[in-house]
Amino acid sequence: MPELPEVETIARKLRRAISGKTVAAVYLSGLPLRRPVAASFAEILRNRRVARIHRRGKYLVFELQPPAFWLIHLGMSGRVFFWPRATAGVTRHTHAIITFSDGSALEYRDPRRFGLLAVRQVQHTRGVPELSSLGKDPLSRGFNSDWLQGVLRSTRRDVKSLLLDQTKIAGLGNIYVCEALFHARIHPARRCDRLSRQEIESLVRAIGRVLRRAIRSHGTTFSDFTASDGEPGGNQRHLRVFLREGLRCRRCPGVISRLRQGNRSSYYCPGCQH
DNA sequence: GCATTACCCTGAAAGC
DNA sequence: TGCTTTCAGGGTAATG
């Protein structure tokens, strides 16, 4: 499941691979993803140049010229592949192939079809509803203890559910929230408004550390994730709680537990997270 | 505003 | 072995 570090890894590789290229042709499978791909998608992309590529939350954002924003969200099982010489064939789960004028191509595959492909003809990301509703990026300068304290103090929700709320903090998913709470020694079911200043500071540090390390490792791969060049990530060796139910904690004599919050699993150590 | 539930979808794992 | 059932999860929408 691609979260911020996986999407950042892909964005960095695509920046080298397709910046400056012009879209020549667009193939679409016609199957709906999270939402149906708009009928105008191919037409808007064609003949536009990829001016910049960046990441916002879990979105890949392609800034086009003439102005338009092309978005890819990978959902649960979305993957992108860069093919230097249009050898991309349509597989069972290929939903789009964007071919560039130099013959290279970008393929989007997504077995579960929870992802998103969209394009918006606007001048600024403010006009892109998928992006303007996103909260603060946890790697941005403004993500600090003062800001997070303001957010946490105003709600009685579980800290786990708040950290997953993309309208508050954009980019965290289940893996890195579980890991960050472990490093900050905070139980996932703790109420936001009852966290101490010290715990909030610890949480901010933990989120930054966990994300930066995962980016250095090129993301976490269980089965699905590879970057656009097919390389898997290496961050799984750094995981302390995620998917480790029943195994020994690496920090105390306890055993990792799992708890269900909403419809998501939270992994934590009852011995060192309170 | 927030919690809960359901839904979208497929592949993997578990159960029979 | 082979079939059926269950589960996983990000985002969104409906409901309470």
pLDDT, average across residues A203-219: 92
Residue-level pLDDT at A224? 61
- Note the pTM of the prediction, 2 decimals: 0.94
The whole-chain average pLDDT of chain A stands at 90
Q: How many Å is the maximal CA-CA distance in chain A? A: 60
User: How far does the CA of A146 sit from the C1' of B9, in Å?
Assistant: 40
How do residues A153-191 score in pLDDT, each as one tens digit?
888 889 998 999 999 999 999 989 999 999 999 999 999
Does the nearest atom of strand C lie within 7 Å of A5's Cβ?
Answer: no
Residue-level pLDDT at A133? 87
DSSP symbols for A167-225: TTBSS--HHHHHHHHHHTT--TT-BGGG--HHHHHHHHHHHHHHHHHHHHTT---SSS-
Residue-level pLDDT at A74? 92
Share of chain A above pLDDT 90, in %: 64
Give the pLDDT band of residue A46 (cuts 50, 70, 90): very high
Give the pLDDT band of residue A86 (cuts 50, 70, 90): low
Residue-level pLDDT at A138? 93
How do residues A8-45 score in pLDDT, each as one tens digit?
999 999 999 999 999 999 999 988 898 889 989 999 99
Amino acid whose CA is nearest the C1' of C9: A76
Where do the DSSP E strands lie in chain A?
Answer: 23-28, 49-56, 59-65, 68-73, 79-83, 94-100, 105-109, 116-120, 257-261, 264-268
Residue-level pLDDT at A120? 93
| Residues of A catalogued as catalytic | 2-3, 58, 264
The A 231-260 residues near strand C by Cβ under 7 Å are none
The A 136-165 residues near strand C by Cβ under 7 Å are 164
Residue A191's CB is within 10 A of a number of other CB atoms, namely 13
Task: For chain A, give the number of residues.
Answer: 274
Residue-level pLDDT at A225? 66
Which contacts (CB < 8 Å, 24+ apart) does range A120-127 have? Answer: A120/A68, A120/A69, A120/A71, A121/A44, A121/A67, A121/A68, A122/A67, A122/A68, A122/A69, A123/A67, A125/A56, A125/A61, A125/A69
Distance, in Å, from the CA atom of A122 to the CA atom of A222, rounded to the nearest integer, reads 37
pLDDT above 80 (res A105)? yes
